[in-house]
Chain A
Amino acid sequence: MNQPHPRFPEIKYYRPKTLKEAVEFLEKHADQSRPYTGGTDCFNQVRDKRIYPEYLVDLKSVEGFREIKFDPKKGLNIGAAARLNEIICHPKITKYYPVLVESAREVGGYQLRNRATLVGNLCNASPCGDTIGPSLVYCSKMHIVGPGGKREVDLKDFFEGPGKTSLRPGEIVESVSFPIPHPGTEGIYQSIGRNKFGDLAIAAVTVLGYEKKDTSSGYEFLITLTAVAPTVIFADLAQDILTAQSITHGTLRQAASACGEACKPIDDIRGSAQYRRDMIRMLAFRGLEKTCKLLNISL
């Protein structure tokens, strides 16, 4: 039979049932282990020998890892093994974090999302990870556990480069939490890929806006740019423009242009750097325009 891919290498498989078991194992085999939940990225990386772990540590059975908890005061907590389709169907996430749901729908096909996890998508740290931008604008926090105990890291400080995070050897992410968004928050995730749905983003923009009395414009906007820099980035200057000036079509154009300036795209198989920069300007303008409409701002 014609084998399009190399054979999956020999590997050892370990499936802890408790967090304690997982942490102890990972502490002992920190450099030889790879945490594994949905496996949708990890499976191909191991098979194609881009990574060489001795052990796959399957965290799906760890108590509490599949849980999605919502509290109207504390916010949302999504366990490391909660799947994207479970997130998409969750009524509270749809109500309070619709932009996250929109972005999760963009990840692969239905079958893939039955395995893929949000925490996995974040830990993979791809510059084009669809759920990263929305997770950043909703100010999420990674809950990490490892040999040194537990710690929390703001998602904005989690990424260090393409595929690189601030996770230390032996550490795993237990869950990701999201505070309750400001009342009246609206936003949108705009992406383009080679196909209309389900493909990796060539460029994407997330916009989130809400009313804020103490700013000159009366609003605060958070904007992230995907697939146009080594990590997903905030468009700081564009955000400042929208806070400092009253919101008009001109301000939106100025902010969209600042998004174009903020990105550092590369040429690759999916698009040229110039195309990506142009698309970021267009996606940012459309995203801002739509968000303003949702916020009932007359331009």
Chain B
Amino acid sequence: MELIKIQVTVNGSKEILDVHPNLSLLNMLRENLTLTGTKSGCEAGECGACTVLLEGEPVNSCMVLAVECRGLSVETIEGLSEEEPMKKLQQAFMELNAIQCGFCTPGMLISAFALLKRNPDPSDKDIRMALLGNLCRCTGYERIISAVKKAARK
């Protein structure tokens, strides 16, 4: 299978990679760039554990091909941790114990980050709708929603 050369900006740094056309963005991040903060969950676009920002918008990286990202910018949980409102979100998640096993947390945080960027004062319904594509199997959703609300009000 042919290799395709792509240039992609990941967390602000330009990466030049030779990728097979069947490589997903998720596997490119985790295996080629060892950015393992992005989790591999259902791999079917259902659970949201693999959520990253592509050109500033959240997407399921398990269902994006790496070759599609040629010339685009990708941001992962590693690259956003020093940026607001991510710091406030992380703080609120910790304060309200909105993390149990932590597997869904990077995806949750990225979806919440994108929500607060487009709507700094979301209602409960806005938060629920924005996190609809992120499943949590142990913490429960109430604390996560409260944490997003708390971060928005800080």
Which of A's residues lie within 8 Å of B, judged by CB? Answer: 1, 4-5, 7-13, 15, 39-40, 43-44, 56, 58, 60, 85, 105, 108-112, 114-115, 197-198
Report the stretch among B62-70, B89-97, B98-106 that lies at the interface. Answer: B62-70
**Closest residue of chain A to B115, judged by CB?**
A110
Distance between Cα atoms of A111 and B2 in the complex (Å): 30
Complex Cα spacing A15 to B69, Å: 12
Contact of A109 with B134 in the complex, beta carbons under 8 Å: yes
Number of residues from B at the complex interface, CB < 8 A: 33
B84 at the interface (CB under 8 A from A): no
B-chain residues with CB within 8 Å of residue A109 when the two chains form the complex: 48, 131-134
Which chain B residue lies CB-closest to A83?
B57
A-B contact pairs, 29 of them (CB 8 A): A4-B43, A8-B22, A10-B21, A11-B1, A11-B21, A12-B2, A13-B4, A13-B65, A39-B63, A40-B45, A40-B63, A43-B45, A43-B65, A44-B45, A56-B65, A58-B68, A109-B48, A109-B131, A109-B132, A109-B133, A110-B129, A110-B130, A110-B132, A111-B45, A111-B60, A111-B111, A114-B58, A115-B63, A198-B133
Which residues of chain B have a CB within 8 Å of any CB of chain A?
Answer: 1-2, 4, 20-24, 40, 42-45, 48, 51, 54, 57-60, 63-65, 67-68, 111, 114, 129-134
Chain B nearest CB, measured from A15 CB (Å)? 8
| A5 cross-chain contacts in B, Cβ below 8 A | 43-44
Residue of B24, B59, B132 near A198 (CB, 8 A) is: B132
Tell me, in angstroms, the Cα distance from A4 to B63 when the chains sit together.
Answer: 14
Chain A residues with CB under 8 Å of B22's CB are 7-11
Rounded to whole angstroms, the CA-CA distance of A89 and B64 in the bound complex is 23
> Which B-chain residue is minimally distant from A116 (CB atoms)?
B45
CB distance from B80 to the nearest CB of A (A): 15
B133 touches A110 (CB 8 A): yes
Please tell me if the beta carbons of A111 and B65 are within 8 angstroms of each other in the complex: no
Q: A115-B63, A198-B132 are in contact. Are A108 and B21 (CB under 8 A)?
A: no
Residues on B with beta carbons closer than 8 Å to the beta carbon of A43: 45, 63, 65
A110–B112 alpha-carbon span in the complex (Å): 11
B21 touches A111 (CB 8 A): no
- List chain A residues, Cβ under 8 A from B57: 85, 114
Q: Say whether B42 contacts A197, CB under 8 Å.
A: no
Q: Report how far A81 CA is from B134 CA in the complex, Å.
A: 24
Q: State the CA gap A56–B66 with chains docked (Å).
A: 13
- Whole-angstrom CA separation of A115 from B65 in the bound complex: 12
Chain A residues in 8 Å Cβ range of B59 = 111, 114-115
Cβ-defined contact, B111 with A110, below 8 A: yes
Establish whether residues A56 and B21, one from each chain, have CB atoms under 8 Å apart when the complex forms. yes
